[in-house]
Amino acid sequence: MSPLAPGATIGILGGGQLGRLIALAAARLGLKTHVFSDDPDSPAFAVAAHATHATYEDEAALEAFSRSVAVVTYEFENVPARAAEIVSRHAVLRPGARALATTQDRLAEKSFVAGLGLATAPFRGVEDEAGLAAALAAIGAPAVLKTRRFGYDGKGQVTIRPGDDAAAAFAAIGRAPAILEGFVPFAAELSIVAARGLDGGLAAYEACENEHERHILAETRVPAAIGEGTRAAAADIARAIGDALDYVGIFAVELFLVRAADGAERLLVNEIAPRVHNSGHWTDFGAQTSQFEQHVRAIAGWPLGGTKRLGRAVSMTNLIGDAVETVPALLAEEGAHVTLYGKAQARAGRKMGHVTRIAW
């Protein structure tokens, strides 16, 4: 595959803020974008040269979309497999269908990670109540029961504590095929965002530390308060996963940091996101190349950019729901970089924008 020609059009499946920020980065590099989304109010439509509003089941629309672009990428991992297959028939899909298949299913994902020899929380597949009982017996409580598919931001999961009614927990997630994961007493939640180029080269940003509130990312801080060995281990994990998926583009690996009584640090892989990631927003203004530009460079087959952090420290704070009302004050804060997604309604739990601060 030769690199994308100047002025070519990138197709983006999904029209949320991630698609919007990819489209803006593509425009900075002189590329056009065509956004495909099932939501008529997609924030990405307003910044794309072309927009298709159709469902991910609309095969004719998917075919026309794919034929109109030089490469297709996606902003969310729940692209239906059938849609990915249709796109792949008419266009180059980056990252590929394998990354989607692996990360759409929590059990397949954990099995893949464990198969690379990387540490995870203990896990077991759960198909029915008997299977859940067996898994609980093996893993113990507390544990987290998660649907295998379509979970994000804490949706489709429930914690089972000692003495809890397992059947009720299974009912709570709709008795869907599930995975039971052992509870990890983590010292911190980390993530590492990295890009893998068409030539197999990996460019990882430094690992960052994340705070979640009600399962939604609230803040990212860089550098993470971790040892040098842990920092290197995070990069090794990213490389192993990127290589095994023959990945092209940006991906994020969510990690648990476990600290032993003697201070020894250990990383467990929690989740892989085959896309630009909220915990990588700090790179926009906070690193040499933003994750959005880096993703565009990767899927275009262009050289990857530098990943060095700028400044002594960077923080990224999500503006969720009402928090968007602080924007006037944030705009008045010198050096605060405010990014807003152009969403009309500020509902509770809805990501409206984010602010990046760099300590020089």
Contacts with a second copy, residue ranges (CB under 8 A): 3, 6-7, 20, 23-24, 27-33, 45-49, 288, 297, 302-303, 305-306, 308, 310, 324, 327-328, 331-332, 334-335, 338-344, 353, 360
Identify which of residues 332 and 348 has a Cβ nearer to a second copy in the complex. Answer: 332
- The two structure tokens encoding residue 345: 């309604």
Q: Say how far apart CA 96 and CA 158 lie, in whole Å.
A: 31
- Smallest distance from the beta carbon of 332 to a second copy, in angstroms? 4
Identify which of residues 12 and 136 has a Cβ nearer to a second copy in the complex. Answer: 12
Cis amide prior to 303 (ω within 30 degrees): no
Q: Say how far apart CA 134 and CA 140 lie, in whole Å.
A: 10
Which one-letter amino acid corresponds to residue 213? E
- Smallest distance from the beta carbon of 134 to a second copy, in angstroms? 50
- Smallest distance from the beta carbon of 296 to a second copy, in angstroms? 11
Identify which of residues 40 and 328 has a Cβ nearer to a second copy in the complex. Answer: 328
Identify which of residues 182 and 286 has a Cβ nearer to a second copy in the complex. Answer: 286
- Smallest distance from the beta carbon of 49 to a second copy, in angstroms? 4
- Smallest distance from the beta carbon of 39 to a second copy, in angstroms? 15
- Smallest distance from the beta carbon of 52 to a second copy, in angstroms? 15
- The two structure tokens encoding residue 293: 């530009």
- Smallest distance from the beta carbon of 46 to a second copy, in angstroms? 4
Identify which of residues 49 and 141 has a Cβ nearer to a second copy in the complex. Answer: 49
DSSP string, 143-196: EEEEESBS--TTTTEEEE-TT--HHHHHHHTTT-SEEEEE----SEEEEEEEEE
Sign of the dihedral through C-alpha 115, 118, 122, 128: negative
Identify which of residues 183 and 302 has a Cβ nearer to a second copy in the complex. Answer: 302
Identify which of residues 47 and 173 has a Cβ nearer to a second copy in the complex. Answer: 47
| Strands of 260-348, DSSP E | 265-273, 313-320, 337-340
The answer to whether 31 and 4 have CB atoms below 8 angstroms apart is yes
Q: Which residue has the tokens 């690996």?
A: 253
Which one-letter amino acid corresponds to residue 333? E
- Smallest distance from the beta carbon of 143 to a second copy, in angstroms? 41
Query: Which run of H or E residues covers position 32?
Result: strand 32-37
Identify which of residues 20 and 124 has a Cβ nearer to a second copy in the complex. Answer: 20
Nearest to 191 by CA among 283, 54, 53: 283
Please give the radius of gyration of the chain, using alpha carbons only, rounded to the nearest integer: 20
Identify which of residues 125 and 321 has a Cβ nearer to a second copy in the complex. Answer: 321
- Smallest distance from the beta carbon of 201 to a second copy, in angstroms? 11
Q: Say how far apart CA 298 and CA 219 lie, in whole Å.
A: 26
132 alpha-carbon distance from chain centroid: 28
Question: How many CB atoms lie under 10 A from the CB of residue 175?
Answer: 15
